[in-house]
Each structure stands twice: as C-alpha cells, then as structure tokens.
Amino acid sequence: MKKTALVAGGAGFIGSHLCEALIGRGMRVICVDNLGTGKMENLKALKGNKNFTFIKADIRKKINIKGGIDYIFHLASYASPPYYQAKSIETLMTNSLGTFNLLELAVEKKARYLITSTSETYGDPKEHPQKETYWGNVNPVGIRSCYDEAKRFAEALTMEFFRKHKLDARIIRIFNTYGPRLQKDDGRVISNFIWQAIHNDPITIYGDGSQTRSFCYVSDQVGGLMAAMMKPGLAGEVINIGNPGEFTVKQAADMIKQMTGSSSGIIYKPLPKDDPARRKPDISKAKKLLGWIPSVKLKEGLEKTIEWFEKSK
Ligand code: UDP
C-alpha cells in the first residue's frame, strides 16, 4: 500500500520541492495551499500525476480530508520578513490556529506530524552557533515577533499534542534556505541580490553587511525534512536543519556579483529593526539522529539558483 503524505504549504518554495521528492519516493501526496505566496507554477512537474492531489484551502479553517493520511508536513506560513510583516496577523493565525487544525487532523488520522519551525525562534542569538537547547533572545513585541512568536507558539502547541495526545510529532528548525523557485520579489537576501545582479541594478545591503547567515540549498533542506519524518522514534524531538557554513551579507553580495559578472554597484540601506547579527546552526543533533549533513556548497547552490533566475528573467 502506498503511503500518503499531506504537505501544507506544498505550493511554496520548499513545499513544492518536497512534494516532488515524496512522489519520487513512491508516495501519494496531497498538497494543501491557499496560494498566499505559493504558486501553481511551482507544481507544474506534478500536474496530471495520478499520485498527486492539489487542494486549495487555508489551514486557518478546519480541513476535512477523506481517506487515510500517514504523514503531515506543516510548511504553511509566510516566511520572508517583508511578507510576514505585511501579512502579520495572517502569519500569527496560520501558525496558531492553522497549526492547531493540522495537529487535530494528525490526531484524527493517526498520522506522523512534522512542523517546520525556524531559526527565528532563537531571535538575535546570544549563543553561537545555535543548538536546539538554546531558548533564544526574541523581542516579543517587535516587528519580527508576528513570525518569531507565532513559530514559538506553534512549537509549544506541537509539544502539548505530543505530551497530551502522544502524537508522533517532531519540530524542525529551518535555517535560511535558497534555491530555484525562491520568489524574485520575495524580499529575502539571496533572491534580492541575484535579481538585482542579473539586471545590473544596485545590490541593496542592509546595515554594513557584517551580519551573518548560513545558507542551505533547497535539496539539502528537503533531504533533512524527509529524513526527520521517515525516521521512527523521534517523537517530541526538535532538530535544526541548515548548512553551518557562515557568510556575511557582504560576502554573499560579492559572491553573487562576481558569479553573475554583474556591473551592479552596492548601496547601503538602514538595517531593519531586530535584524539578527549572527546566525549559524549547530547540526550535531541532525547528524547523530538522522545521519544527515548538507552536501551542497554555497557556490554550487548559487550557480544553480542563478541559472534558474536567469531563465525566469
Ligand atoms: N538583507 C540585505 N539586503 C536585502 C535583503 C536582506 O542586506 O536586500 C539582509 C537582512 O537585513 C538580513 C539578511 O540579509 O540581515 C538576511 O535577510 P533575509 O530577509 O533573507 O532573512 P532573515 O535571515 O533575516 O530572516
């Protein structure tokens, strides 16, 4: 019997790659998305596939699905700072009410459940690199809190379903991920820089560019998510999935400018409020529990991403 996975947020950037990978593993996939930022275009490789079903629905409303579900992946949320700030209340409700609805569905279907949380739960971290045991340094009322606190609430709710309902649930904290299908107007650093560079427009660095991020290529991220879901015995675990290679924003700008052969200049803009100064995952837990490590180096991943952006110019 084929296993069935439901992917909430499956038309999004990471979600669509995950749907393809699950189909590739011989599963049936039900993709649920409200197309807030997700796009049908992202799913074109799966169109007409008999094992793939798309349902346009918003998880803030209770979802009724006929038949069995073995796995529920919850990737539904705005995730880019400009987007989640513009849609702040939706973001809070998707991660609270939406998470509740998916957890209830998991209990009803006796499904295994995985929620994608975020490195943002660590806020502007005082511990470096960030281990899962770190409680974070989050401004609870700042402009990023609609995302950070919503994800922290989603984690708390998930843990209570694990404790009270014995739900086989796991929490994955995703660190900055990039690759083909990042939206060009998404506002995040890699998509902005590539789009600006290939148009020879000025590259916009916020602050002085000394802040760091660790960038994970999408195929590595999807591999980590699948490993975390398929491995039994991980109920109640919290695991970082990201690439520990750490780069300053200025380094990322220079690399992209050089790789695209762009004539773009660099302009400096004010650093957004509460922008974390440093971010790098400690992935020893993922290595130990999942035998997972990322394999795509930043240069290699950027090459593939730039190629995709060039094609969709
Ligand atoms: N950033 C930047 N220029 C841009 C977009 C982002 O300098 O055009 C910076 C941003 O201030 C942050 C880092 O790049 O320090 C990563 O931002 P992103 O929005 O990709 O995600 P975050 O990691 O902050 O959630």
Q: Which domains does the chain have, with CATH numbers?
A: 4-179+216-244+279-295 (3.40.50.720)
What is the atom index within ligand 1 of the atom nearest the CA of 81?
A: 19
Cβ proximity of 126 and 160 under 8 Å: no
Which of 113, 108, 24 is closest to 66 using CA atoms?
Answer: 108
Residue with CA at minimum distance from ligand 1 atom 4: 189
User: What is the structure's pLDDT at 1?
Assistant: 86
For ligand 1, residues with CB inside 6 Å are: 80-81, 176, 188-189, 192, 204-206, 211, 213, 249, 272, 275
Cβ proximity of 153 and 96 under 8 Å: yes
User: What is the structure's pLDDT at 180?
Assistant: 98
Cβ proximity of 91 and 150 under 8 Å: yes
Which residues fall within 8 angstroms of residue 271, CB to CB, at 6 or more apart?
Answer: 206, 207, 208, 211
Which residues fall within 8 angstroms of residue 162, CB to CB, at 6 or more apart?
Answer: 168, 169, 235, 236
Q: How far apart are the first and last CA of the chain?
A: 43
Residue with CA at minimum distance from ligand 1 atom 21: 188
Residue 226 CA to residue 248 CA, distance in Å, equals 29
Q: 229 alpha carbon to ligand 1 midpoint, in Å? A: 29
Residue 240 CA to residue 260 CA, distance in Å, equals 31
Cβ proximity of 119 and 281 under 8 Å: yes
Q: 271 alpha carbon to ligand 1 midpoint, in Å? A: 9
Residue 305 CA to residue 218 CA, distance in Å, equals 10
User: What is the structure's pLDDT at 109?
Assistant: 98
Q: 294 alpha carbon to ligand 1 midpoint, in Å? A: 22
Mutate to test the pocket of ligand 1, among 147, 186, 189, 211 (most ligand atoms within 8 A of CB): 189
- What is the chain's Cα-based Rg? 19
User: What is the structure's pLDDT at 313?
Assistant: 83
Residues of the chain with pLDDT under 70: none
Residue with CA at minimum distance from ligand 1 atom 14: 189
Q: 189 alpha carbon to ligand 1 midpoint, in Å? A: 4
Note the pTM of the prediction, 2 decimals: 0.98
Report the b/e string of 178-188 with b at 16+ CB within 10 A.
bbbbbbeebeb
Q: State the catalytic residues.
A: 147
* DSSP 8-state assignment for residue 45: G
